[in-house]
Amino acid sequence: MKVIFITPASNFRRFWGYRFGNYLYGHPNAITGPLILGHILKDAGHDVEVYEELYTDIDFFDLEDVDVYCLYTMTSSAPRAYELADEIRRRTKARVLIGGMHASAMPEEAAAHADQVVVGEAETVILDIVEGRRTEKIVYAECLKNLDDAPFPDYSLLKTPCLEANVLSTRGCPFCCSFCTTSRMYHPYRERSVDSVIEEIRYYKKLGFEYMNFEDDNFTANRGRAKEICRRMIAEDLTFKDTFFFGRVDMAKDEEMMELLQKAHLSYVLVGFESLNQAALDEIDKHQKISDIVNCAKSLAKHKIRLIASFVLGIDTDGPEDIGRCVEFAKDVNAYTLQPAILTPFPGTETYKQFTEEKRMITKDWSVFDMMNVTFLPKNMTPWELQKQFLKATKRFYTFVGSLKIMKTFGFEYGFRRLGLWLITCLAMFGAAVQSRFKKDSYFYWLRHTWPDNG
């Protein structure tokens, strides 16, 4: 059978300006789920192709004799996935399967657009569904207990650009912050054996990838294991030009961990600092202290690991002044990038449940659920005020002078990329101002005029 996997991207993310910003921010890569599922199907003799819409426009109807289309959904890409699914079903006789994060949280909604929907990780069911042995409309998949049983993502199936290989050495996270989707979708927390992880990395080295990322939700959750992976990477010459990972502040309590991260060239980390207000950290069950945040930022600077400082904007206990403090802090510690993420009540999370019960959700347009738009009624600000705080935070952080500072610390390439991000920020600010004032069908216009700020 011919099987096509598609990772859709929302309209905003297919816009040229966003695509350009994406190239500056990182390199094209891929969600690994479709590459793993595709590998299982290929091994069973099927003809599989995988496409990512984030980086190029694709005419899916040009593809011939497709038997099954498999669509991945995260919340912000779900409307686009449904649009594609409806169009495929209208124009072809192929079957449509939908899976991924959003479909797993809202299976009935997804089922209105598909022949079948899978809830959860699909390795254990994908072959039976494609070959017609599982026929339920909504298939509840049992997750793999032993992650070493999954094949590696097969990048030869990917037909869109990709310069970075993504490795997931674990699934899920031992913590359970109230707003977090992944600790619920990939549950329980599981680890692969170090041997299997190293074998996968060796395979990417052989394929010639210059960049490799650990996309684990919390790579350093088990420090003993993370250290072992780093030691093996160093000893077996398996390091890359740049390796990104997600970490938690607690990694910095372990000096040996930090040294190994640096030596294994895990050079770029996103840390969820979330807030500099202890009450807010407690409210979201983050289990971290402000002093941990400060120590982590210092230790990353000492080890020359570029920091993406991620803060959640709009937690009930936070006000506008807390957001301002986060920006100043990120500048002070010379963070490489600031990721101000607007609190987003993703379906399936405690936050979504709470805000729905409290009648605080203000939209069900899933395309704006991307952590860059306000989708709920905050406690201490109007929605538009919070949206403005997000835009302001970005503008205050990405400056010309800040880019020169990055150039001095991390070299020309990263300084140059930061300059690009500064330019993109200026353009985005202009776009947001125009949209919110004049573009009546835009989300910003609606926010500004329905929920004006108090000032």
Which residues bind to ligand B12, rule: CB under 6 A? 7, 9-10, 13, 29-34, 36-37, 52, 54, 70-72, 74-77, 97-102, 118, 121-123, 166, 168, 181-182, 215, 217, 346, 370-372
CB-facing half-sphere around the CA of 216: CA atoms within 13 A: 24
For position 180 contacting ligand SF4 by CB under 6 A, the verdict is: yes
Q: Give the phi and the psi of residue 359 in degrees, each rounded to 5.
A: 55, 45
Contact yes or no for 101/110 (Cβ under 8 A):
no
346 binds, among ligand SF4, ligand B12, none (CB under 5 to 8 A by kind): ligand B12
Task: Give the shortest CB-171-to-ligand B12 separation in angstroms.
Answer: 6
CA–CA distance, 267 with 172 (Å, rounded to integer) = 22
Identify whether the C-beta of residue 6 lies closer than 8 Å to the C-beta of residue 82: no
What does 394 bind: ligand B12, ligand SF4, none (CB cut-off 5 to 8 Å by kind)? none
Residue at shortest CB range from ligand B12? 33
DSSP secondary structure letter of residue 340:
E
Residues 237-256 that bind ligand SF4 (CB under 6 A): 248
Residue 173 binding target from ligand SF4, ligand B12, none, CB below 5 to 8 Å by type: ligand SF4
Residue from 183, 220, 349, 387 in contact with ligand SF4 (CB under 6 A): 183
Nearest-approach distance from CB 346 to ligand B12, in angstroms: 4
Query: Which of 180-188, 190-198, 254-262, 358-366 is the region at the interface with ligand SF4 (rule: CB under 6 A)?
Result: 180-188
Residue 106 C-beta-side C-alpha neighbours within 13 Å: 21
- Least Å distance, CB 404 to ligand B12, is 26
Residue 385: contacted member of ligand SF4, ligand B12, none (CB under 5 to 8 Å, by partner type):
none
Is the Cα torsion angle 11, 16, 18, 24 positive or negative in sign? positive
Under DSSP, is residue 320 helix (H, G, I), strand (E, B) or coil?
helix
- Decide: is 177 part of the binding site for ligand SF4 (CB under 6 A): yes
Window contacting ligand SF4 (CB under 6 A); options: 15-23, 169-177, 249-257, 367-375 = 169-177
DSSP collapsed to 3 states, 247-297: ECHHHHHCHHHHHHHHHCCCCEEEEEEECCCHHHHHHCCCCCCHHHHHHHH
Smallest separation (angstroms) from ligand SF4 to the CB of 173: 3
Contact between 218 and ligand SF4 per CB under 6 A: yes
Contacted entry of ligand B12, ligand SF4, none for residue 333, CB cut-off 5 to 8 Å set by kind: none
DSSP type of residue 113: T
Q: Which is nearer to ligand B12, 74 or 323 (CB)?
A: 74
Q: 3-class DSSP state for residue 154? A: coil
For ligand SF4, which is the closer residue by CB, 272 or 383?
272
The structure tokens listed for 351 are: 């936050």
- Residue 403 CA to residue 142 CA, distance in Å, equals 47
381, interface contact from ligand SF4, ligand B12, none, CB < 5-8 Å by kind: none
Q: Which stretch binds ligand SF4 (CB under 6 A): 43-51, 124-132, 176-184, 431-439?
A: 176-184
Burial of 152 (0-12, 13-18, 19+ CB in 10 A): middle
SS3 content of the chain, % helix, strand, coil (to 5): 45, 15, 35
77 binds, among ligand SF4, ligand B12, none (CB under 5 to 8 A by kind): ligand B12
| Distance, CA of 179 to CA of 285 (rounded, Å) | 9
Residue ranges that bind ligand SF4, judged by CB under 6 A: 173, 175-177, 180, 182-183, 217-218, 248, 272
